[in-house]
Amino acid sequence: NAGVTQTPKFQVLKTGQSMTLQCAQDMNHNSMYWYRQDPGMGLRLIYYSASEGTTDKGEVPNGYNVSRLNKREFSLRLESAAPSQTSVYFCASTRPDNHLEETQYFGPGTRLLVL
Amino acid sequence: LAKTTQPISMDSYEGQEVNITCSHNNIATNDYITWYQQFPSQGPRFIIQGYKTKVTNEVASLFIPADRKSSTLSLPRVSLSDTAVYYCLVGDVGTTDSWGKLQFGAGTQVVVTP
């Protein structure tokens, strides 16, 4: 199993450009999450999805949109990138129906620089 | 949501035991204590989770006193590869919403030197 994969690994954007960050998991997890991590700080939740076709806002959703394409894939879109969105973005997945055995798995991250 | 407090940094030598204590005075009845490890340029990795008393796995031990207002992550005989940031998160983990509500603070930077 590859676990949680993210593409691209790095991206440089100009202010106002758009892009989509891709995330996929092969663990048959129902729940998927997008976080951002700024330097020296912990992760903050942007959006999450409990199942295919459902999405909900997290702590910092402004400036982002998401799509839960199917059970495996959860994408994050920046419609008009701003320098404040320079960050490292992590995707995660879990199956929360049995917390005694399941854990939350994170992808390797996408490093985004907005000029 | 339970607020957590943990040291900003800890230094250790190889072979020593490292204990990181996390305070969570307003932990709720349904809350679990979850610890993650994050290496530079990587996503966080789940280490251990517990509700009360002691939990041990191949990586670490988690000690939780009866009042559950604090917890201690114990890393036995650390090596250089244990240098990482360690996060203590407290919250319910039974639903998608609840996992999403777990808040990462700044964590504890553990530096292991030879």
Q: Distance (Å, rounded) from C-alpha A108 to C-alpha A90? A: 7
CB contact under 8 A, A41 and B106: yes
Q: Distance (Å, rounded) from C-alpha A113 to C-alpha A82? A: 9
DSSP-derived 3-state class of residue B34:
strand
Per-residue pLDDT of chain A (115 residues; tens, 9 = 90+): 679 999 999 999 999 999 999 999 998 888 899 999 998 788 899 999 988 889 999 989 999 999 998 999 999 999 999 999 999 999 999 875 555 545 788 999 999 999 9
Distance from CA of B17 to the nearest CA of A (A): 25
pLDDT digits (tens, 9 = 90+) for B75-112: 999 999 999 999 999 988 777 677 777 778 889 999 99
Closest to B88 in 3D by CA, of B79, A20, B74: B74
Of chain A, the percentage scoring pLDDT greater than 90 comes to: 73
CB contact under 8 A, B93 and A96: yes
